[in-house]
Amino acid sequence: MLLTPIWDPEKGKMRVAGLVSGSGKSLVTIIEEQARMEAEGSAPYEVVGLFSDNPKSKAEEIGKQYSIPVFTNDIRSFYKSRGKKITDRRVREEFDREAVEALKSIKTDVLAYAGYVWATTAPLVNAFLGINGHPADLSIMEGGRRKFAGAQGVRDALLAGETALASTVHIVTTEVDGGPILMISEPVQVEKHEGLSLEDMSRHYLRLLNEKTRALFPRVIKDLAQGTFKRDEKGGLYYGETPIPKGYRL
């Protein structure tokens, strides 16, 4: 059986660009892991740029701190100038095409959706391999669908009575939270919280799971850059020689 790395390390360092809408903390962990490996000898990837759809995000600050170029295109102003609502998909495709041009200018190989608020369209998905983090276990299915996909994944998992929660890193497709799973974090055990509302519990566990995602993201990027994640002839995913139809679980 022939297995092919998703990224072939023989091409050289994998060039990563980060997509940031807010704090960019997940991206910072990727940058810091790169710096740690370089201090020990070399890193298999390099963060080469940032793109943000929000001028109030931390992208500019991160770019200055780590000497990384930053591209910002205010998505709300973009829609407003065209007189369209933020849900208009044609305008989003136009926005994504502009993002593609910016990212191509720095020779991007892989996009890290590091806290990027997105409804990604085909122009961006088809241009680059995208990796996204989600604060719920996307391997859990119900009715043929990912049970905890979407913005309320943590809340939905708590409502479903899950006793352990985990975050997921997966490949981006045009279906939100629908791409192949690469890795699932260590579990966070759900404890009893007497008198705490569902909203407060959701915020509490979201914070814990975001920490898991920030630890998971650089691991996935490093493993991807080293050629550990592979595909067989039918597109099935492997971690080394181990098949991972539901992702590699830590």
* pLDDT the model gives residue 149: 92
Q: Are 57 and 22 in contact (CB under 8 A)?
A: yes
Residue-wise pLDDT for 172-220, tens only, equals 998 888 899 999 999 999 998 888 899 999 999 999 999 999 999 999 9
What the block records as the tokens of 185 is 């974090």
* pLDDT the model gives residue 178: 87
Helix (H) or strand (E) holding 29: helix 25-40
- List the beta strands (DSSP E) in the chain: 4-5, 14-20, 45-52, 70-72, 110-113, 129-134, 141-142, 145-146, 164-165, 168-171, 181-184, 188-189, 229-231, 237-239, 242-243, 248-249
Report the 10 Å Cβ neighbour count for 201.
17
Helix (H) or strand (E) holding 241: none
* pLDDT the model gives residue 195: 81
Distances (CA, A) of 192 to 197, 198, 206: 11, 12, 16
Please calculate the CA angle 238-188-181 and round it to the nearest 5 degrees: 25
* pLDDT the model gives residue 194: 80
* pLDDT the model gives residue 118: 66
* pLDDT the model gives residue 59: 95
* Tokens 């502009």 belong to residue: 98
Q: Is 26 left (phi over 0), alpha (psi -120 to 50) or beta?
A: alpha
Helix (H) or strand (E) holding 194: none
pLDDT tens series, the chain, 250 aa: 799 999 999 999 999 999 999 999 999 999 999 999 999 999 999 999 999 999 999 999 999 999 999 999 999 999 999 999 999 999 999 999 999 999 999 999 999 998 776 678 999 999 999 999 999 999 999 999 999 998 899 999 999 999 999 999 999 998 888 899 999 999 999 998 888 899 999 999 999 999 999 999 999 999 999 999 999 999 999 999 999 999 999 9
Q: Delimit the domains of the chain by residue range.
A: 4-135+167-184+212-234
* Tokens 């595909």 belong to residue: 231
**Can you tell me the distance from the alpha carbon of 225 to that of 250, in angstroms, rounded to the nearest whole number?**
19
Distances (CA, A) of 161 to 136, 149, 155, 201: 13, 16, 10, 12
Which SS3 state, helix, strand or coil, does residue 204 take? helix
Pick the CATH number of 4-135+167-184+212-234 from 3.20.20.60, 2.30.40.10, 3.40.50.170, 3.90.600.10: 3.40.50.170
* pLDDT the model gives residue 176: 83
Q: Is 190 exposed, middle or buried (0-12, 13-18, 19+ CB in 10 A)?
A: middle
DSSP one-letter code for 46: E
DSSP one-letter code for 122: H
